[in-house]
Amino acid sequence: MKTAPMKYGGIFKLAYKLLVNDRGKFSALLLGITFAVFLMVEMTSLFAGILNRSAATVTNVGATIWIMDPAVQTVASSIPMPDYLLDAVRSIRGVRYAVPLYSGGAQVKLKDGTYQAVTVMGLDDTSLVGRPALEQGHIQDIYAENAFIVVNDAEYSKLHKPGVGTEFELNDHRGVIVGIAKVNAFGLFGVPTLYTTYRRAIEYIPNPRFTISYILAEPTDPQRIPLIKREVAALGYMALTKDEFDQRIADFYKYQTGVGTNIMLMTIISFIVGLTISAQTFYTFVLENLDKFGALKAIGAKGYELTYMILFQVMFTSLTGYGLGTGLCAVMITVARLRLPDYAALITLTNLGLALAMVVLIAAISSYISIRKVLKVEPFDIFRG
């Protein structure tokens, strides 16, 4: 028992020397897996970034319950609701408070005469539920005449980086920046965001008969949420928790747009590329070293020991390629974000786990093909040749 570790240590050391002895083949094998991992992590990270940004408003507002029209699929496609619904929600047992939220688009005329599309968020005048944290200015200044708060995100520069006191026009109304806000998540659609009061938003922006985009509600107790959802459904509308709304938005982009399909196809192609290159290169490596495996078999190496050698070689190469591919992707995303603030890619544990699972699968298939060939070799055939 005491000699076993030395025995397998020697086997793995020999396997490593056989692997790196031919630097050309080893580099080609490593490059193939690295490139495949890079593509897989990059594609899935891009999708994760898109999903994260698509729900940026839900994340930044942070309300516990969102009440909306049942036809709403994403936070950007709000459908106006009647004012009486707000009173009805407030009367539901278990609702601590409920406030309106306005979300709409507008054109802002900047000082140099250019126009820029913006998203305007109108917060409840009394409570300001959903207000962002401020980097500059004071939140109470939002009640000043023509006051707006601008979000300092990736789109901030499109408004020429306005400071506190900067003036602009919105539908022939004067606007003044009274604060600069920071948010947890940036938007997806490349449009700057302005916050103001609900009343000012519906006054400055032309609207249909109904003006409430969403109703934000807070339950008195989390156990009351199912009751609130049933009561809202009875009124003909839909109540979702923050996580449920996030998931609804994610499902929309996954299954009802081409984004999810395209990302999945690119990930599959990356997997096939990695599998093809690694399996073919490693099989060629085994064929070229078949005489060495045959010699080991002739001097008493067991089949399972040769199997361990193959597994070690494949796993060492695959995990090294996984690390290099992941690192390369992280570097590229970091550089891209420095150059392109709108770049949405986001590496998550799910992305890394998926890429690792695919790399293990590539290693398993490559190992199986090579092990079968090695176990079939006969020492007699090697020495006879």
Which helix (H) or strand (E) segment holds residue 312: the answer is: helix 303-339
The first and second tokens of residue 114, run together, are 């250019």
Which DSSP string do the residues of 257-292 spell out, in sequence order? SHHHHHHHHHHHHHHHHHHHHHHHHHHHHHHHTHHH
Write the burial class of residue 204 (CB in 10 Å: 0-12 exposed, 13-18 middle, 19+ buried).
Answer: buried
User: For residue 76, what pLDDT is reported?
Assistant: 85
| pLDDT digits 0-9 by tens, 211-263 | 999 999 999 999 999 999 999 999 999 999 999 999 999 888 888 877 778 87
Q: 3-state class of 74 per DSSP? A: coil
Which of these ranges, 94-108, 153-167, 263-277, has the smallest mean pLDDT? 263-277
**Domain positions in the chain:** 4-54+258-384, 82-236
pLDDT at residue 154 in the model: 84
Give the angle 40-46-48 at the CA atoms, nearest 5°.
100
Report DSSP state, residue 360.
Answer: H
Taking 60 as the threshold, does the pLDDT of residue 9 lie above it?
A: yes
Q: Which amino acid is at 26?
A: F
Helix 258-288 to helix 303-339 angle (10° resolution) is: 140
Q: Which pLDDT value is given to residue 6?
A: 40
pLDDT digits (tens, 9 = 90+) for 178-209: 999 998 888 777 789 999 999 999 999 988 88
Residue 118 banded pLDDT, cuts 50, 70, 90: very high
